[in-house]
């Protein structure tokens, strides 16, 4: 592979990424400002309703909200390129700071959820494939289909109802008890939201693994591997799962935004102080600057994981790798 062509390809991809981010930023900026609602409510809270028209005009002037939208947008970019993303109207702090203070919680919840799904899905999928058509496979497939049809917010509510309200085993909201707590406290608060995130997404990916593995199981080389004397379980693990892995990895890279979205919803229901709750609040209360930055960050994650998926599938499958230059030998 020549360095030049590699640089050109990477450059093209980066350009596409930048363009997408620009389009996203523009859309979010215009939509949020055109949507009905009063940003001053975010800033002044209940007091906003008692402001005199003069005070309102002053406040809008100070926040730069009475200029035409395109002027506001240009100003936003001017500041953003210097690293200033404006202040959050609600928290009266730099938007970036607010996000930084919450991002950790989301990373813990989303990251742990992703890691669990990433490990459990192939195991579950391979187990179902191994027992294809058997009672275990049928029960797991039906259960999975049912659970993944349940919206996360409802699943969360039921989980709270059962495990917090009825049984009283686990806390129903927040990331830690008032006054802070130890690691055990954090984990106790994490179990329910994490369980919902995993339960909501696991089946879909396990099912993908199952069908990919079974698809591979029909290939000639599987028949031949059995003819060599390998057991069915070994063939499924060593051959089928291996062949299914490249597409699984790229699928999981694409799944990052999917799982992140699920995390946002679950955070909301559990009042878990993460980016999801923050995103909801900022959209609800016209906290423009915060919303912009959150959307751009989430969008960036979505786009990067898409690119990562492409890159991974290209690296893992030797056939794809070969197209990049290693020649076949006669």
Binding residues (CB under 8 A) for other proteins: these are 133, 219-221, 223-232, 238-239, 242-243, 245-246, 317-319, 322, 326, 328-330
Which of residues 241 and 256 has its CB atom nearest to other proteins in the complex?
241
Name which of 62 and 238 has its Cβ closer to other proteins.
238
Q: To the nearest whole angstrom, how small is the minimum distance from the Cβ of residue 244 to other proteins?
A: 10
- Measured from the CB atom, the residue of 36 and 318 that comes closer to other proteins is 318
Q: Provide the token pair at 286.
A: 């016209």
In whole angstroms, what is the distance from residue 251 CA to residue 107 CA?
20
Rounded least distance, CB 327 to other proteins, Å: 8
Q: What's the CA gap between 210 and 90, in Å, rounded?
A: 47
Residue 196 backbone dihedrals phi, psi, to 5 degrees:
-70, -45
Nearest distance from C-beta of residue 329 to other proteins, angstroms: 6
d(C-alpha 105, C-alpha 100), whole Å:
10
Give me the least distance between CB of 248 and other proteins, in Å please. Answer: 12
Looking at the Cβ atoms of 135 and 318, the one nearer to other proteins is 318
Rounded to the nearest whole angstrom, what is the least distance from the CB of residue 139 to other proteins in the complex?
Answer: 19
> Comparing C-alpha atoms, which of 260, 131, 120 is closest to residue 204?
120
Report the C-alpha gap between 178 and 200 in whole angstroms: 29
Closer CB to other proteins, 136 or 162, in the complex:
136
> CA 236 → CA 126, 138, 177, 204, distances in Å?
7, 18, 46, 20
What is the distance between the terminal CA atoms of the chain, rounded to a whole angstrom?
21
C-beta closer to other proteins: residue 96 or 225: 225
| Contact present, 192 and 170 (Cβ < 8 Å) | yes
The torsion angles phi and psi of 93, rounded to 5 degrees, stand at -130, 170
* Closer Cβ to other proteins, 36 or 325, answer by number: 325
Beta carbon of residue 221, minimum distance to other proteins (angstroms, whole number)? 5
Please identify, using beta-carbon distances, which residue of 136 and 158 lies nearer to other proteins.
Answer: 136
Pull the structure tokens for residue 232.
């069915």
Q: Kindly state the smallest distance separating residue 151's Cβ from other proteins, in Å.
A: 36
- Tokens linked to 284: 């609800």
Q: Is the CB of 54 or the CB of 329 nearer to other proteins? A: 329
Q: Give the separation between CA 77 and CA 80, rounded to whole angstroms.
A: 5
Q: How far is the CB of 324 from other proteins (least distance, A)?
A: 13
The candidate with the shortest Cα–Cα distance to 316, out of 328, 308, 305, 304, is 308
Q: What is the DSSP string of 235-276?
A: HIIIIIIHHHHHHHHHHHHHHHHHHHHHHHHHHHHTT--SHH
> Minimum Å distance from CB 236 to other proteins?
12
What residues are paired with 93 via a beta bridge? 88
- Cβ–Cβ < 8 Å for 251, 205: yes
């Amino acid at each position: 592979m020549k360095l030049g062509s590699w640089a050109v390809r990477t450059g093209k991809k980066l350009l596409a990424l930048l363009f997408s981010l620009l389009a996203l930023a523009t859309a979010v900026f215009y939509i949020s400002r055109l949507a009905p609602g009063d940003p001053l409510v975010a800033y002044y809270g209940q007091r906003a309703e008692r402001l005199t028209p003069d005070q309102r005009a002053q406040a809008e002037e100070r926040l730069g909200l009475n200029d035409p939208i395109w002027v506001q947008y240009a100003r936003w970019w001017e500041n953003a390129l210097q690293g200033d993303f404006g202040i959050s109207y609600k928290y009266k702090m730099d938007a970036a700071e607010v996000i930084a203070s919450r991002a950790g919680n989301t990373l813990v919840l989303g990251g742990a959820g992703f890691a669990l799904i990433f490990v459990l899905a192939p195991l579950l999928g391979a187990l179902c494939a191994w027992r294809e058509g058997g009672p275990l496979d049928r029960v797991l497939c039906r259960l999975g289909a049912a659970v993944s049809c349940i919206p996360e917010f409802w699943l969360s509510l039921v989980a709270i109802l059962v495990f917090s309200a009825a049984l009283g085993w686990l806390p129903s909201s927040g990331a830690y008890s008032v006054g802070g707590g130890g690691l055990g406290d954090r984990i106790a608060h994490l179990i329910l939201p994490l369980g919902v995130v995993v339960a909501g997404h696991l089946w879909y990916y396990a099912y993908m693994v199952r069908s990919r593995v079974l698809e591979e199981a029909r290939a000639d080389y599987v028949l031949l591997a059995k003819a060599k004397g390998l057991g069915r379980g070994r063939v499924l693990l060593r051959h089928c799962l291996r062949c299914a892995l490249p597409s699984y990895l790229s699928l999981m890279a694409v799944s990052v935004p999917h799982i992140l979205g699920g995390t946002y919803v679950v955070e909301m229901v559990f009042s878990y102080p993460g980016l999801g709750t923050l995103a909801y609040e900022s959209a609800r209360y016209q906290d423009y600057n915060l919303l912009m930055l959150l959307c751009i960050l989430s969008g960036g994650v979505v786009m990067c994981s898409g690119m990562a998926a492409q890159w991974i599938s290209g690296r893992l499958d030797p056939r794809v790798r070969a197209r990049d230059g290693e020649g076949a030998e006669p």
